[in-house]
A and B are shown apart, each in its own frame.
Chain A
Amino acid sequence: MTAQLIVEDLRVRFSTAHRVIDAVRGVSFTVGREKVGIVGESGSGKSMTARAILKLTPPQAKLAAKTLRFQEIDLAAATERQMLKVRGRRISMIMQDPKFALDPVMRVGDQIAEAIPADRRGSRAQDRERVLGMLDSVQIRDPKRVFELYPHEVSGGMGQRIMIAMMLMPEPSLLIADEPTSALDVTVRLRVLAILDELAAQRHLGLIFISHDLNLVASFCDRVLIMYAGRIVEQCAASELAHAKHPYTRGLLASLPRVGDTRGRLPVLTRDPAWLSS
Protein backbone atom coordinates (compact mmCIF):
# COMPACT_ATOMS: atom_id res chain seq x y z
CA MET A 1 0.00 0.00 0.00
CA THR A 2 1.43 3.37 -0.96
CA ALA A 3 1.34 6.02 1.69
CA GLN A 4 -0.53 9.23 0.89
CA LEU A 5 0.56 10.92 4.04
CA ILE A 6 4.04 10.64 5.50
CA VAL A 7 4.68 12.20 8.90
CA GLU A 8 8.17 12.01 10.31
CA ASP A 9 9.34 13.50 13.58
CA LEU A 10 6.42 15.91 13.97
CA ARG A 11 6.70 18.33 16.88
CA VAL A 12 4.30 20.94 18.23
CA ARG A 13 5.57 23.26 20.93
CA PHE A 14 3.81 25.97 22.94
CA SER A 15 6.03 28.54 24.62
CA THR A 16 4.68 30.82 27.30
CA ALA A 17 6.52 33.30 29.45
CA HIS A 18 6.74 30.73 32.23
CA ARG A 19 7.37 27.44 30.54
CA VAL A 20 7.59 25.43 27.35
CA ILE A 21 5.03 22.74 26.67
CA ASP A 22 5.67 20.11 24.04
CA ALA A 23 2.23 18.90 22.95
CA VAL A 24 3.55 16.60 20.23
CA ARG A 25 7.07 15.22 20.62
CA GLY A 26 8.47 13.48 17.59
CA VAL A 27 5.55 11.60 16.06
CA SER A 28 6.12 9.50 12.92
CA PHE A 29 3.54 7.53 10.95
CA THR A 30 2.14 6.99 7.47
CA VAL A 31 -1.41 6.73 6.20
CA GLY A 32 -2.34 4.94 2.98
CA ARG A 33 -5.89 4.33 1.79
CA GLU A 34 -6.81 2.70 5.07
CA LYS A 35 -8.41 3.43 8.42
CA VAL A 36 -5.82 4.46 10.97
CA GLY A 37 -6.93 5.02 14.56
CA ILE A 38 -5.16 7.32 16.99
CA VAL A 39 -6.05 6.61 20.61
CA GLY A 40 -4.92 8.20 23.83
CA GLU A 41 -6.18 10.08 26.85
CA SER A 42 -7.06 13.74 26.86
CA GLY A 43 -3.88 15.76 26.55
CA SER A 44 -1.95 13.00 24.81
CA GLY A 45 -1.57 15.14 21.69
CA LYS A 46 -3.84 13.20 19.35
CA SER A 47 -5.99 16.15 18.27
CA MET A 48 -2.94 18.40 17.99
CA THR A 49 -1.32 15.86 15.67
CA ALA A 50 -4.39 15.91 13.42
CA ARG A 51 -4.49 19.69 13.39
CA ALA A 52 -0.79 19.87 12.62
CA ILE A 53 -1.34 17.82 9.44
CA LEU A 54 -3.64 20.60 8.19
CA LYS A 55 -1.46 23.25 9.78
CA LEU A 56 -4.43 24.35 11.85
CA THR A 57 -2.50 24.61 15.10
CA PRO A 58 -3.04 27.84 17.06
CA PRO A 59 -0.84 30.75 15.93
CA GLN A 60 1.33 30.66 19.06
CA ALA A 61 2.22 27.01 18.48
CA LYS A 62 5.51 26.17 16.80
CA LEU A 63 5.31 23.38 14.30
CA ALA A 64 8.34 21.38 13.15
CA ALA A 65 8.73 18.14 11.21
CA LYS A 66 11.46 16.31 9.37
CA THR A 67 8.90 15.24 6.78
CA LEU A 68 5.25 16.23 6.47
CA ARG A 69 4.23 15.16 3.01
CA PHE A 70 0.77 14.59 1.53
CA GLN A 71 0.93 13.00 -1.93
CA GLU A 72 3.10 15.41 -3.97
CA ILE A 73 2.78 18.33 -1.57
CA ASP A 74 5.37 19.16 1.06
CA LEU A 75 3.03 20.39 3.80
CA ALA A 76 5.89 21.47 6.04
CA ALA A 77 7.09 23.98 3.45
CA ALA A 78 3.65 24.90 2.04
CA THR A 79 2.54 28.50 2.32
CA GLU A 80 -0.83 29.51 3.73
CA ARG A 81 -2.02 30.04 0.14
CA GLN A 82 -1.05 26.52 -0.86
CA MET A 83 -2.66 25.11 2.28
CA LEU A 84 -5.98 26.59 1.19
CA LYS A 85 -5.92 24.21 -1.75
CA VAL A 86 -5.31 21.24 0.54
CA ARG A 87 -7.66 21.97 3.42
CA GLY A 88 -11.15 20.75 2.76
CA ARG A 89 -10.43 19.91 -0.86
CA ARG A 90 -7.95 17.10 -0.45
CA ILE A 91 -7.82 16.55 3.29
CA SER A 92 -10.98 17.31 5.21
CA MET A 93 -11.86 17.08 8.85
CA ILE A 94 -14.96 15.90 10.67
CA MET A 95 -15.39 17.54 14.06
CA GLN A 96 -16.68 16.02 17.26
CA ASP A 97 -19.95 17.80 17.76
CA PRO A 98 -22.24 18.80 14.87
CA LYS A 99 -24.09 21.15 17.22
CA PHE A 100 -21.08 23.46 17.27
CA ALA A 101 -19.50 22.75 13.91
CA LEU A 102 -22.51 23.57 11.72
CA ASP A 103 -23.65 27.14 11.07
CA PRO A 104 -26.84 27.55 13.13
CA VAL A 105 -28.43 30.17 10.84
CA MET A 106 -27.92 28.49 7.49
CA ARG A 107 -30.01 25.76 5.94
CA VAL A 108 -28.31 22.37 5.96
CA GLY A 109 -28.44 22.01 2.18
CA ASP A 110 -26.92 25.43 1.55
CA GLN A 111 -24.09 24.66 3.95
CA ILE A 112 -23.26 21.45 2.14
CA ALA A 113 -23.43 23.22 -1.25
CA GLU A 114 -21.00 25.79 0.06
CA ALA A 115 -18.41 23.04 0.44
CA ILE A 116 -18.27 22.52 -3.34
CA PRO A 117 -15.04 24.15 -4.51
CA ALA A 118 -15.64 27.31 -6.54
CA ASP A 119 -14.16 25.91 -9.75
CA ARG A 120 -16.45 22.89 -9.68
CA ARG A 121 -19.71 24.71 -9.04
CA GLY A 122 -22.53 24.48 -11.54
CA SER A 123 -25.87 26.22 -11.64
CA ARG A 124 -27.92 26.45 -8.47
CA ALA A 125 -30.07 23.55 -9.60
CA GLN A 126 -27.06 21.37 -10.45
CA ASP A 127 -25.45 22.04 -7.08
CA ARG A 128 -28.72 21.21 -5.37
CA GLU A 129 -28.87 17.89 -7.17
CA ARG A 130 -25.33 17.07 -6.09
CA VAL A 131 -26.14 17.91 -2.47
CA LEU A 132 -29.28 15.78 -2.57
CA GLY A 133 -27.21 12.92 -4.02
CA MET A 134 -24.66 13.29 -1.23
CA LEU A 135 -27.37 13.37 1.47
CA ASP A 136 -28.72 10.19 -0.06
CA SER A 137 -25.30 8.54 0.09
CA VAL A 138 -25.03 9.23 3.82
CA GLN A 139 -28.34 7.37 4.09
CA ILE A 140 -30.60 10.28 4.86
CA ARG A 141 -34.02 8.97 3.88
CA ASP A 142 -35.73 12.14 2.76
CA PRO A 143 -32.94 14.36 1.36
CA LYS A 144 -35.37 16.99 0.00
CA ARG A 145 -36.86 17.61 3.42
CA VAL A 146 -33.50 17.60 5.23
CA PHE A 147 -32.04 20.03 2.67
CA GLU A 148 -34.41 22.72 3.95
CA LEU A 149 -33.81 22.16 7.67
CA TYR A 150 -31.68 24.22 10.03
CA PRO A 151 -29.08 22.44 12.21
CA HIS A 152 -31.19 22.78 15.38
CA GLU A 153 -33.96 20.80 13.69
CA VAL A 154 -31.87 17.67 13.17
CA SER A 155 -30.81 14.98 15.67
CA GLY A 156 -27.19 14.39 16.69
CA GLY A 157 -26.82 11.35 14.45
CA MET A 158 -28.30 13.15 11.47
CA GLY A 159 -26.14 16.21 12.17
CA GLN A 160 -23.04 14.05 12.07
CA ARG A 161 -24.17 12.50 8.77
CA ILE A 162 -24.70 15.99 7.40
CA MET A 163 -21.18 16.90 8.46
CA ILE A 164 -19.82 13.78 6.74
CA ALA A 165 -21.74 14.74 3.59
CA MET A 166 -20.29 18.22 3.73
CA MET A 167 -16.74 16.98 4.18
CA LEU A 168 -17.05 14.54 1.28
CA MET A 169 -18.45 17.17 -1.10
CA PRO A 170 -15.03 18.38 -2.37
CA GLU A 171 -14.02 14.72 -2.90
CA PRO A 172 -10.99 14.64 -0.62
CA SER A 173 -8.67 11.66 -0.55
CA LEU A 174 -7.90 11.83 3.16
CA LEU A 175 -10.45 12.32 5.89
CA ILE A 176 -9.54 13.22 9.46
CA ALA A 177 -12.27 12.44 11.98
CA ASP A 178 -11.65 13.86 15.45
CA GLU A 179 -13.89 11.98 17.89
CA PRO A 180 -16.70 11.94 15.30
CA THR A 181 -19.07 9.81 17.35
CA SER A 182 -18.27 10.69 20.97
CA ALA A 183 -21.34 12.93 21.26
CA LEU A 184 -23.67 10.24 19.90
CA ASP A 185 -25.65 7.46 21.55
CA VAL A 186 -24.22 3.98 21.19
CA THR A 187 -26.69 2.65 18.65
CA VAL A 188 -26.63 5.84 16.56
CA ARG A 189 -22.84 5.76 16.74
CA LEU A 190 -22.71 2.36 15.05
CA ARG A 191 -24.90 3.51 12.16
CA VAL A 192 -22.79 6.61 11.56
CA LEU A 193 -19.64 4.50 11.63
CA ALA A 194 -21.13 2.05 9.14
CA ILE A 195 -21.82 4.92 6.75
CA LEU A 196 -18.31 6.29 7.20
CA ASP A 197 -16.88 2.82 6.68
CA GLU A 198 -18.81 2.23 3.44
CA LEU A 199 -18.02 5.63 1.97
CA ALA A 200 -14.33 5.31 2.80
CA ALA A 201 -14.22 1.91 1.08
CA GLN A 202 -16.19 3.06 -2.00
CA ARG A 203 -14.11 6.17 -2.53
CA HIS A 204 -10.76 4.65 -1.54
CA LEU A 205 -10.29 7.25 1.17
CA GLY A 206 -7.62 7.28 3.77
CA LEU A 207 -9.14 7.86 7.20
CA ILE A 208 -7.50 9.07 10.38
CA PHE A 209 -9.87 8.26 13.21
CA ILE A 210 -9.14 9.93 16.54
CA SER A 211 -10.81 8.51 19.60
CA HIS A 212 -10.33 7.79 23.28
CA ASP A 213 -12.46 4.65 22.98
CA LEU A 214 -10.14 1.65 22.64
CA ASN A 215 -12.84 -0.90 21.90
CA LEU A 216 -14.31 1.23 19.17
CA VAL A 217 -10.97 1.84 17.47
CA ALA A 218 -10.00 -1.83 17.73
CA SER A 219 -13.22 -2.89 16.03
CA PHE A 220 -13.43 -0.10 13.43
CA CYS A 221 -9.89 0.67 12.21
CA ASP A 222 -7.26 -1.32 10.33
CA ARG A 223 -4.31 -0.02 12.28
CA VAL A 224 -3.95 1.74 15.64
CA LEU A 225 -1.44 4.24 16.98
CA ILE A 226 -1.41 4.65 20.74
CA MET A 227 -0.30 8.06 21.95
CA TYR A 228 0.93 9.01 25.39
CA ALA A 229 2.25 12.45 26.39
CA GLY A 230 2.84 13.60 22.82
CA ARG A 231 4.51 10.44 21.54
CA ILE A 232 3.39 7.28 19.82
CA VAL A 233 4.19 4.55 22.32
CA GLU A 234 2.90 1.68 20.24
CA GLN A 235 1.59 0.88 16.75
CA CYS A 236 -0.24 -2.30 15.89
CA ALA A 237 -2.89 -3.87 13.71
CA ALA A 238 -6.30 -3.09 15.23
CA SER A 239 -7.08 -6.80 15.52
CA GLU A 240 -3.92 -7.20 17.62
CA LEU A 241 -4.77 -4.45 20.11
CA ALA A 242 -5.88 -7.00 22.71
CA HIS A 243 -2.33 -8.39 22.64
CA ALA A 244 -0.64 -4.99 22.86
CA LYS A 245 2.76 -5.03 24.50
CA HIS A 246 3.32 -1.55 25.88
CA PRO A 247 2.46 -1.32 29.60
CA TYR A 248 0.48 1.88 28.93
CA THR A 249 -1.77 0.22 26.35
CA ARG A 250 -2.15 -2.83 28.55
CA GLY A 251 -2.98 -0.61 31.52
CA LEU A 252 -5.66 1.25 29.57
CA LEU A 253 -7.24 -1.99 28.37
CA ALA A 254 -7.22 -3.48 31.87
CA SER A 255 -8.84 -0.39 33.42
CA LEU A 256 -11.94 -0.72 31.23
CA PRO A 257 -14.90 -2.38 32.94
CA ARG A 258 -16.67 -5.00 30.83
CA VAL A 259 -20.22 -6.26 30.72
CA GLY A 260 -20.27 -9.14 33.17
CA ASP A 261 -17.09 -7.98 34.91
CA THR A 262 -16.59 -9.79 38.21
CA ARG A 263 -13.32 -8.16 39.27
CA GLY A 264 -13.55 -6.64 42.75
CA ARG A 265 -11.47 -3.62 41.83
CA LEU A 266 -10.31 -2.25 38.52
CA PRO A 267 -6.54 -2.07 38.06
CA VAL A 268 -5.44 1.54 38.05
CA LEU A 269 -2.83 2.77 35.62
CA THR A 270 0.49 3.50 37.27
CA ARG A 271 2.38 5.87 35.04
CA ASP A 272 6.03 5.04 34.60
CA PRO A 273 8.20 8.14 33.98
CA ALA A 274 10.21 5.99 31.55
CA TRP A 275 7.22 6.08 29.12
CA LEU A 276 7.92 9.72 28.53
CA SER A 277 11.24 8.97 26.88
CA SER A 278 11.29 5.36 25.68
Chain B
Amino acid sequence: MITVKNLSVNFGAMRAVDDVSFDVDVEETFGLVGESGCGKSTLLRVLCGLNRDWHGAITIDGSTITPNRSRAFFKDVQMVFQDPYGSLHPRHTVNSVLSEPLVIHRMDRIDARVAAMLDQVGLGPAFRYRYPHQLSGGQRQRLAIARALILEPKVLLLDEPTSALDVSVQAEILNLLKDIRQMRKLTCILVSHDLAVISYMCQRIAVMNHGQILEELSPAQLTGTTGHHPYTAQLLTASRGYDHTLAQELPES
Protein backbone atom coordinates (compact mmCIF):
# COMPACT_ATOMS: atom_id res chain seq x y z
CA MET B 1 0.00 0.00 0.00
CA ILE B 2 2.75 2.41 1.00
CA THR B 3 6.33 2.16 -0.18
CA VAL B 4 9.01 4.57 0.97
CA LYS B 5 12.47 4.35 -0.57
CA ASN B 6 15.58 6.25 0.53
CA LEU B 7 13.61 9.13 1.98
CA SER B 8 15.65 12.03 3.40
CA VAL B 9 14.55 15.36 4.83
CA ASN B 10 16.91 18.21 5.64
CA PHE B 11 16.17 21.24 7.78
CA GLY B 12 19.10 23.50 6.93
CA ALA B 13 22.19 21.59 7.96
CA MET B 14 20.17 19.20 10.12
CA ARG B 15 19.18 15.90 8.60
CA ALA B 16 15.87 15.04 10.26
CA VAL B 17 15.15 11.90 8.26
CA ASP B 18 18.14 10.03 6.91
CA ASP B 19 17.75 7.54 4.08
CA VAL B 20 14.67 5.75 5.39
CA SER B 21 12.99 2.88 3.49
CA PHE B 22 10.02 0.76 4.44
CA ASP B 23 6.85 -0.86 3.08
CA VAL B 24 3.40 -1.07 4.60
CA ASP B 25 0.98 -3.74 3.40
CA VAL B 26 -2.72 -3.22 2.78
CA GLU B 27 -4.71 -3.23 6.04
CA GLU B 28 -1.53 -3.37 8.08
CA THR B 29 -0.73 -1.05 10.98
CA PHE B 30 2.91 -0.06 10.91
CA GLY B 31 4.42 1.45 14.04
CA LEU B 32 7.21 4.01 14.28
CA VAL B 33 8.72 4.35 17.74
CA GLY B 34 11.48 6.63 18.95
CA GLU B 35 12.27 9.56 21.21
CA SER B 36 11.72 13.23 20.48
CA GLY B 37 13.76 14.52 17.59
CA CYS B 38 14.28 11.12 15.99
CA GLY B 39 12.37 12.16 12.86
CA LYS B 40 9.22 10.08 13.30
CA SER B 41 6.77 13.00 13.09
CA THR B 42 8.65 14.56 10.17
CA LEU B 43 8.30 11.30 8.32
CA LEU B 44 4.51 11.38 8.82
CA ARG B 45 4.32 15.02 7.74
CA VAL B 46 6.10 14.13 4.49
CA LEU B 47 3.68 11.27 3.85
CA CYS B 48 0.59 13.40 4.36
CA GLY B 49 1.91 16.31 2.30
CA LEU B 50 2.60 18.84 5.05
CA ASN B 51 6.31 18.83 4.30
CA ARG B 52 7.12 19.30 0.63
CA ASP B 53 10.89 19.40 0.77
CA TRP B 54 12.21 15.86 0.67
CA HIS B 55 14.28 13.48 -1.44
CA GLY B 56 13.53 9.88 -2.26
CA ALA B 57 10.61 7.94 -3.67
CA ILE B 58 7.18 7.37 -2.17
CA THR B 59 4.32 5.39 -3.66
CA ILE B 60 0.94 5.19 -2.01
CA ASP B 61 -1.69 2.82 -3.40
CA GLY B 62 0.27 2.32 -6.59
CA SER B 63 0.75 5.97 -7.55
CA THR B 64 4.02 7.83 -7.16
CA ILE B 65 3.88 10.81 -4.86
CA THR B 66 5.30 14.15 -5.95
CA PRO B 67 5.72 17.27 -3.81
CA ASN B 68 2.55 18.74 -5.38
CA ARG B 69 -0.39 16.53 -4.67
CA SER B 70 -3.84 16.19 -6.17
CA ARG B 71 -7.08 16.65 -4.31
CA ALA B 72 -7.73 12.92 -4.65
CA PHE B 73 -4.56 12.25 -2.66
CA PHE B 74 -5.83 14.17 0.34
CA LYS B 75 -9.07 12.24 0.22
CA ASP B 76 -7.17 8.97 0.42
CA VAL B 77 -4.58 9.91 3.04
CA GLN B 78 -5.68 11.54 6.28
CA MET B 79 -3.94 12.29 9.53
CA VAL B 80 -4.84 12.49 13.23
CA PHE B 81 -2.62 14.82 15.23
CA GLN B 82 -1.18 14.52 18.69
CA ASP B 83 -2.84 17.38 20.49
CA PRO B 84 -6.63 17.46 20.31
CA TYR B 85 -6.52 20.84 22.04
CA GLY B 86 -4.45 22.41 19.27
CA SER B 87 -5.70 20.60 16.18
CA LEU B 88 -9.34 21.74 16.24
CA HIS B 89 -10.44 25.24 15.31
CA PRO B 90 -11.84 26.75 18.52
CA ARG B 91 -14.56 28.70 16.73
CA HIS B 92 -15.85 25.94 14.49
CA THR B 93 -18.61 23.66 15.73
CA VAL B 94 -18.33 19.89 15.50
CA ASN B 95 -20.72 20.11 12.57
CA SER B 96 -18.59 22.55 10.58
CA VAL B 97 -15.36 20.68 11.38
CA LEU B 98 -16.89 17.56 9.88
CA SER B 99 -18.77 19.09 6.95
CA GLU B 100 -15.96 21.32 5.65
CA PRO B 101 -13.87 18.48 4.17
CA LEU B 102 -17.04 17.08 2.53
CA VAL B 103 -17.75 20.42 0.87
CA ILE B 104 -14.16 20.78 -0.33
CA HIS B 105 -14.19 17.33 -1.86
CA ARG B 106 -17.68 17.89 -3.33
CA MET B 107 -19.18 14.85 -1.67
CA ASP B 108 -22.90 14.17 -1.44
CA ARG B 109 -25.26 13.52 1.50
CA ILE B 110 -23.31 15.78 3.83
CA ASP B 111 -25.90 15.76 6.58
CA ALA B 112 -26.24 11.98 6.62
CA ARG B 113 -22.48 11.44 6.49
CA VAL B 114 -21.82 13.74 9.44
CA ALA B 115 -24.52 12.07 11.52
CA ALA B 116 -23.25 8.58 10.70
CA MET B 117 -19.65 9.54 11.41
CA LEU B 118 -20.48 11.02 14.82
CA ASP B 119 -22.30 7.85 15.66
CA GLN B 120 -19.40 5.70 14.56
CA VAL B 121 -16.84 7.42 16.80
CA GLY B 122 -19.22 7.22 19.74
CA LEU B 123 -20.13 10.89 20.04
CA GLY B 124 -23.80 10.83 19.05
CA PRO B 125 -26.06 13.58 17.69
CA ALA B 126 -26.03 15.63 20.92
CA PHE B 127 -22.47 16.74 20.16
CA ARG B 128 -23.14 18.00 16.68
CA TYR B 129 -23.51 21.70 17.42
CA ARG B 130 -20.97 21.96 20.20
CA TYR B 131 -17.67 23.83 20.10
CA PRO B 132 -14.36 22.09 20.89
CA HIS B 133 -14.08 23.77 24.31
CA GLN B 134 -17.30 22.00 25.30
CA LEU B 135 -15.66 18.61 24.75
CA SER B 136 -13.25 16.66 26.96
CA GLY B 137 -9.81 15.59 25.69
CA GLY B 138 -11.04 12.12 24.75
CA GLN B 139 -14.11 13.52 22.97
CA ARG B 140 -11.91 15.94 21.03
CA GLN B 141 -9.68 13.12 19.90
CA ARG B 142 -12.79 11.20 18.79
CA LEU B 143 -13.76 14.27 16.77
CA ALA B 144 -10.26 14.48 15.25
CA ILE B 145 -10.55 10.83 14.23
CA ALA B 146 -14.03 11.49 12.80
CA ARG B 147 -12.69 14.42 10.77
CA ALA B 148 -9.95 12.22 9.31
CA LEU B 149 -12.32 9.37 8.51
CA ILE B 150 -15.22 11.34 7.03
CA LEU B 151 -13.54 11.45 3.61
CA GLU B 152 -13.31 7.66 3.70
CA PRO B 153 -9.55 7.53 3.32
CA LYS B 154 -7.60 4.37 2.58
CA VAL B 155 -4.62 5.40 4.68
CA LEU B 156 -4.77 6.83 8.19
CA LEU B 157 -1.67 8.45 9.68
CA LEU B 158 -1.68 8.70 13.47
CA ASP B 159 0.81 10.99 15.20
CA GLU B 160 0.82 10.15 18.94
CA PRO B 161 -2.98 9.99 19.02
CA THR B 162 -3.21 9.20 22.74
CA SER B 163 -0.18 10.82 24.37
CA ALA B 164 -2.18 13.85 25.57
CA LEU B 165 -4.84 11.66 27.19
CA ASP B 166 -5.29 9.89 30.52
CA VAL B 167 -4.73 6.12 30.48
CA SER B 168 -8.42 5.26 30.90
CA VAL B 169 -9.31 7.51 27.95
CA GLN B 170 -6.34 6.17 26.00
CA ALA B 171 -7.85 2.67 26.27
CA GLU B 172 -11.15 3.95 24.81
CA ILE B 173 -9.43 5.64 21.87
CA LEU B 174 -7.18 2.64 21.13
CA ASN B 175 -10.26 0.37 21.14
CA LEU B 176 -12.05 2.77 18.80
CA LEU B 177 -9.07 2.83 16.42
CA LYS B 178 -8.90 -0.97 16.44
CA ASP B 179 -12.63 -1.27 15.63
CA ILE B 180 -12.55 1.34 12.90
CA ARG B 181 -9.46 0.10 11.11
CA GLN B 182 -11.01 -3.36 10.93
CA MET B 183 -14.41 -2.09 9.80
CA ARG B 184 -13.00 0.23 7.15
CA LYS B 185 -10.04 -1.93 6.14
CA LEU B 186 -7.62 0.92 6.79
CA THR B 187 -3.89 0.92 6.32
CA CYS B 188 -2.36 2.83 9.24
CA ILE B 189 0.96 4.25 10.31
CA LEU B 190 1.09 4.91 14.04
CA VAL B 191 3.82 7.09 15.53
CA SER B 192 4.43 7.00 19.26
CA HIS B 193 7.14 7.21 21.90
CA ASP B 194 5.24 4.62 23.95
CA LEU B 195 6.51 1.15 23.18
CA ALA B 196 3.53 -0.47 24.92
CA VAL B 197 0.98 1.39 22.75
CA ILE B 198 2.94 0.61 19.59
CA SER B 199 3.32 -3.08 20.34
CA TYR B 200 -0.36 -3.34 21.26
CA MET B 201 -1.60 -1.71 18.06
CA CYS B 202 0.88 -2.66 15.33
CA GLN B 203 1.73 -5.71 13.28
CA ARG B 204 5.21 -4.40 12.54
CA ILE B 205 7.36 -1.92 14.45
CA ALA B 206 10.24 0.21 13.22
CA VAL B 207 12.58 1.70 15.83
CA MET B 208 13.93 5.12 14.86
CA ASN B 209 16.83 7.12 16.22
CA HIS B 210 18.70 10.11 14.75
CA GLY B 211 16.54 10.05 11.61
CA GLN B 212 17.29 6.44 10.75
CA ILE B 213 15.34 3.23 11.11
CA LEU B 214 17.54 1.04 13.29
CA GLU B 215 15.51 -2.13 12.94
CA GLU B 216 12.12 -3.52 12.06
CA LEU B 217 10.46 -6.13 14.25
CA SER B 218 7.18 -7.82 15.07
CA PRO B 219 5.58 -7.41 18.51
CA ALA B 220 6.58 -11.02 19.21
CA GLN B 221 10.22 -10.28 18.41
CA LEU B 222 10.02 -7.24 20.66
CA THR B 223 9.05 -9.32 23.68
CA GLY B 224 11.66 -11.94 22.82
CA THR B 225 14.99 -11.47 24.51
CA THR B 226 17.43 -11.94 21.68
CA GLY B 227 18.56 -10.04 18.65
CA HIS B 228 17.65 -6.48 19.62
CA HIS B 229 19.53 -3.43 18.61
CA PRO B 230 21.03 -1.98 21.84
CA TYR B 231 18.85 1.12 21.48
CA THR B 232 15.68 -0.98 21.27
CA ALA B 233 16.78 -2.85 24.38
CA GLN B 234 17.24 0.50 26.12
CA LEU B 235 13.73 1.65 25.18
CA LEU B 236 12.32 -1.67 26.39
CA THR B 237 14.09 -1.32 29.73
CA ALA B 238 12.85 2.23 30.14
CA SER B 239 9.26 1.26 29.34
CA ARG B 240 9.21 -1.18 32.27
CA GLY B 241 9.47 1.60 34.85
CA TYR B 242 12.17 2.88 37.16
CA ASP B 243 15.04 0.70 38.26
CA HIS B 244 17.96 2.29 40.03
CA THR B 245 20.73 0.02 38.77
CA LEU B 246 19.45 0.01 35.19
CA ALA B 247 19.14 3.79 35.18
CA GLN B 248 22.83 4.01 36.09
CA GLU B 249 23.76 1.95 33.06
CA LEU B 250 21.95 4.17 30.56
CA PRO B 251 24.32 6.25 28.47
CA GLU B 252 24.40 10.01 28.97
CA SER B 253 22.32 11.78 26.37
Query: With an 8 A cutoff between CB atoms, is A258 at the interface?
Result: yes
Do A187 and B196 touch (CB < 8 A)?
no
Do B235 and A187 touch (CB < 8 A)?
yes
Do A141 and B241 touch (CB < 8 A)?
no
Chain B 92-129, CB-CB to A under 8 Å as 1, else 0, gives: 00000000000000000000000000000000000000
Residues of A within 8 A of B197 (CB): 257
| Nearest 10 CB-CB pairings of A with B | A219-B241, A260-B223, A257-B200, A255-B171, A194-B247, A186-B238, A266-B171, A185-B35, A269-B168, A219-B242
Residues of A within 8 A of B168 (CB): 41, 251-252, 255, 268-269
Task: Please measure, in the bound complex, the distance between the C-alpha atom of A219 and the C-alpha atom of B244, giving whole angstroms.
Answer: 9
Do B247 and A261 touch (CB < 8 A)?
no
Query: With an 8 A cutoff between CB atoms, is A220 at the interface?
Result: yes
Task: Please measure, in the bound complex, the distance between the C-alpha atom of A216 and the C-alpha atom of B242, giving whole angstroms.
Answer: 6
Query: With an 8 A cutoff between CB atoms, is B248 at the interface?
Result: yes
Residues of A within 8 A of B35 (CB): 185-188
Residues of A within 8 A of B199 (CB): 257-261
Q: How many residues on chain B are close to A (CB under 8 Å)?
A: 40
What is the CB-to-nearest-CB distance from B152 to chain A, in angstroms, rounded to a whole number?
Answer: 24
Do B174 and A257 touch (CB < 8 A)?
yes
Chain A 191-217, CB-CB to B under 8 Å as 1, else 0, gives: 101100100000000000000101110
Given known contacts A187-B35, A259-B222, A268-B168, A155 and B253 CB-to-CB distance under 8 angstroms? yes
Residues of A within 8 A of B210 (CB): none
Residues of A within 8 A of B137 (CB): 42
Chain A 222-259, CB-CB to B under 8 Å as 1, else 0, gives: 00000000000000000000000000000110011111
Residues of B that sit less than 8 Å from A by CB: 35-36, 137, 166-168, 170-172, 174-175, 178, 193, 195-197, 199-201, 219-220, 222-223, 234-244, 246-248, 250, 252-253
Q: How many residues on chain A are close to B (CB under 8 Å)?
A: 39
Task: Please measure, in the bound complex, the distance between the C-alpha atom of A255 and the C-alpha atom of B247, giving whole angstroms.
Answer: 26
Do A193 and B242 touch (CB < 8 A)?
yes
Query: With an 8 A cutoff between CB atoms, is A265 at the interface?
Result: yes
Query: With an 8 A cutoff between CB atoms, is A107 at the interface?
Result: no
Do B171 and A267 touch (CB < 8 A)?
yes
Task: Please measure, in the bound complex, the distance between the C-alpha atom of A187 and the C-alpha atom of B35, giving whole angstroms.
Answer: 9
Do B238 and A258 touch (CB < 8 A)?
no
What is the CB-to-nearest-CB distance from A5 to chain B, in angstroms, rounded to a whole number?
Answer: 23
A-B contact count (CB 8 A): 112
What is the CB-to-nearest-CB distance from B127 to chain A, in angstroms, rounded to a whole number?
Answer: 19
Among B235, B237, B239, B247, the most chain A Cβ lie within 10 Å of the Cβ of: B247
Do B222 and A220 touch (CB < 8 A)?
no
Chain A 116-159, CB-CB to B under 8 Å as 1, else 0, gives: 00000000000000000000000001000000000000011100
Among A156, A186, A214, A256, the most chain B Cβ lie within 10 Å of the Cβ of: A186
Q: B241 is contacted by which of A216, A263, A268 (Cβ under 8 Å)?
A: A216
What is the CB-to-nearest-CB distance from A209 to chain B, in angstroms, rounded to a whole number?
Answer: 10
Residues of A within 8 A of B178 (CB): 264-265
Further 4 A-B residue pairs, CB within 8 A, beyond A141-B252, A193-B247, A255-B168: A190-B238, A190-B242, A257-B201, A261-B199
Residues of B within 8 A of A263 (CB): 200
Residues of B within 8 A of A42 (CB): 137, 166
Residues of B within 8 A of A257 (CB): 171, 174, 196-197, 199-201
Do A188 and B253 touch (CB < 8 A)?
yes
Query: With an 8 A cutoff between CB atoms, is A13 at the interface?
Result: no
Do A187 and B253 touch (CB < 8 A)?
yes
Chain A to chain B contacts (Cβ below 8 Å), 6 pairs: A188-B35, A193-B242, A256-B196, A257-B197, A259-B199, A260-B220
Residues of B within 8 A of A156 (CB): 36
Do A259 and B195 touch (CB < 8 A)?
yes
Residues of A within 8 A of B171 (CB): 255-257, 266-269
Task: Please measure, in the bound complex, the distance between the C-alpha atom of A220 and the C-alpha atom of B240, giving whole angstroms.
Answer: 11
Given known contacts A190-B238, A261-B199, A185 and B193 CB-to-CB distance under 8 angstroms? yes
Do A255 and B235 touch (CB < 8 A)?
no
